[in-house]
Amino acid sequence: MGRPPKSTEEHERNGTYRPSRHANRGITITPLEKLQAPQDLSDRATEKWNKIVPAMLEAGLISIVDVVILKDAFISYDIAQECLEQVNNYKNYGDYLCELDKIKDVNLLDTYREYMDRFHKIMMKFGVTPEARRRMMVKPKEKEESDVFEGLMGNG
């Protein structure tokens, strides 16, 4: 795999910028500052959205192009939770499985797993799950000059 192309700004700094070659190179998508939950989400999905998405916005993980996939994730979450609620209406999982007509009925536990897996896979793309955060590379915060001098001077 070759090296990635230089940015327009880098070409301008180096004096190698040619408008015919380097203008309109890619698009810049700025992160959003605020993003409301879509109107057609259920109350449960909206509540989950309001817990997760503001933190993702603060971290700069979301842009306007991500709204559609995030909506899909929270719809999947809602479907999974609905399946789990229906299964929890039984006294125990054994009773549910005994009453399940494997030919006619959809196994709600399988549906729950399928939609929660979908939710988790989408959220992993944004670094929301612990597993995904482990693989993310985050630049360390730059220390202020006063912190650097304090470290050099020690306690005295």
Asked if 33 and 57 touch (Cβ cutoff 8 Å), the reply is: yes
Assigned token pair, 112: 């729950």
Distance (Å, whole) CA 15 – CA 95: 74
Q: What type of residue sits at position 36?
A: Q
Report residue 50 as tokens: 């309001």
* pTM (predicted TM-score): 0.62
List the chain domain ranges.
Answer: 30-139
* pLDDT per residue as tens digits for the range 110-149: 899 999 999 999 988 887 766 666 655 555 555 555 555 5
Cβ distance 77 to 37 under 8 Å? no
Distance CA 73, CA 49 (A): 10
CA distance 110 to 155: 60
Q: For the segment 23-78, what is each residue's pLDDT rounded down to a tens digit?
A: 766 655 555 777 888 899 999 999 999 998 888 888 777 877 788 899 999 999 99
Buried b (16+ CB within 10 A) or exposed e, 69-93: ebbebbbbbbbbbbbbeebeeeeee
What is the token pair recorded at 103? 């030919």
Mean pLDDT of 82-94: 85
